[in-house]
Amino acid sequence: MFDKLEAVESRFNEIESRLADPEIANRPGDFKKLSQEHASLQEIVAEYRKFKKLTSELKSNKELLQEKDPDLVQMAKEELKQLEPEFEQSKRKLHILLLPVDPNDYKNVVFEIRAGAGGDEAALFVGELFRLYQRFSERQGWKVEVLSLNPTGLGGFREIIAEIQGQRVYSRLKWEGGVHRVQRVPATEAQGRIHTSTVTVAVLPEAEEVDVKINPIDLRIDVFRSGGAGGQGVNTTDSAVRITHLPSGLVVVCQDERSQLKNKDKAMKILRSRLLDIEMEKAAQSHSDARRSMVGTGDRSERIRTYNFPQGRLTDHRIGLTLYQLPEVMEGKIDEIIDGLISNYQMEALKEQGMGE
């Protein structure tokens, strides 16, 4: 571990030196790459330097235990009581920081929410769940842009697709992919019976053009008139865009913008991310199996999380976490859940490497 940490610190120092070179500032592409790498190494290096300082202090205090002066020995013992837990905590944190990094962790995401089982009630929950993630994103300082909406007639949505941009978005939101189950009494239920509905969430790392090569001859692009509820807001031009990727059969439709070009750009963004997701599945079959088991078909029996409104309860079934704070959760306060999922992953990864408890 320590050879690797020395190499990381050496690379970090090299990057800092290069970033200080005025020539790099004149090459925006190189400057951006180095800045991103610098940011990715900063936490590891800071913890490693702290660890080295603690190691040195531990050594000094253990040497003092050999002194004949009882006051010095007592002082060393008191210091060791504080230093030893800090040392172990720092060592464990370094093991976690050195776990294999998902290369997509620093990417933005294409976030897709769809109604599953439950009809109108599921469609209504799509909108509420999207609002939850909007609120969460606001507190993270992330930007949310809707790419595609498919509304129903009762204020719900069959599907919402959005792009979320910001610092390490995928690293935080990738745990949200799966089936979300909601239990509550619908407004239309006269007898107060609780209904169960499901919504599926897919979190795709945003794909750049360099990530996915798309041959233009593999695309069929159709334009048509956007649908609408009528009145002055209806679009009377052929601005809606449907893109079909012929080799995979993937179809993406965007019609929310009045500009055909903007709709095409949004559709291509969704298409690239879905194609990247397919490539990720091919590259890591075990990951794709896990993803399919989470997302599944949207049936009530396949779920990662349950939102029980009568009891004000949220349960994440993967880690057995239950919170009786559903109103706060629906306002986007899901940090405790996401942190729990990340900690669970880290502990499992440490066990695989023989470092777990």
Q: How do the domains of the chain map onto residue ranges?
A: 2-97, 104-357
pLDDT at 233 (0 to 100): 45
- As a whole number of angstroms, the distance between CA 94 and CA 88 comes to 10
The distance of Cα 53 from the centroid of its chain, to the nearest Å, equals: 34
In the predicted model, what is the mean pLDDT of residues 263-276? 88
**What is the secondary structure of 219-233 as a DSSP string?**
EEEEEEPPP---GGG
* CB-facing half-sphere around the CA of 49: CA atoms within 13 A: 11
DSSP state of 188: T
Name every residue whose Cβ is closer than 8 Å to that of residue 216 and which is 6 or more positions away in sequence.
none
CATH, domain range 2-97: 1.20.58
Pairwise CA distance, residues 228 & 207, whole Å = 30
User: Looking at the predicted structure, is the pLDDT value of residue 326 above 70?
Assistant: yes
Instruction: Output the DSSP codes for 172-185.
Output: HHGGG-EEEEEEE-
Q: Provide the percentage of residues in the chain whose pLDDT is more than 70.
A: 89
Residue 251, beta-bridge partner list: 244
- Amino acid 15: pLDDT: 93
Q: Are 337 and 323 a contacting pair, CB within 8 Å?
A: yes
Strand 143-151 to strand 321-323: parallel, antiparallel, or no bridges (unpaired)? unpaired
Spatial separation of the C-alpha atoms in residues 132 and 331, rounded to whole Å: 5
pLDDT digits (tens, 9 = 90+) for 187-235: 767 677 889 999 999 999 988 766 788 888 988 998 887 765 444 444 5
Q: Evaluate whether 199 touches 115 at the Cβ level (below 8 Å).
A: yes
Return the SS3 of 52. helix
User: For residue range 96-152, what is the model confidence (pLDDT) as tens digits?
Assistant: 888 877 888 888 999 999 999 888 999 999 999 999 999 999 999 999 999 989 898
CATH C-level class of 104-357: alpha beta
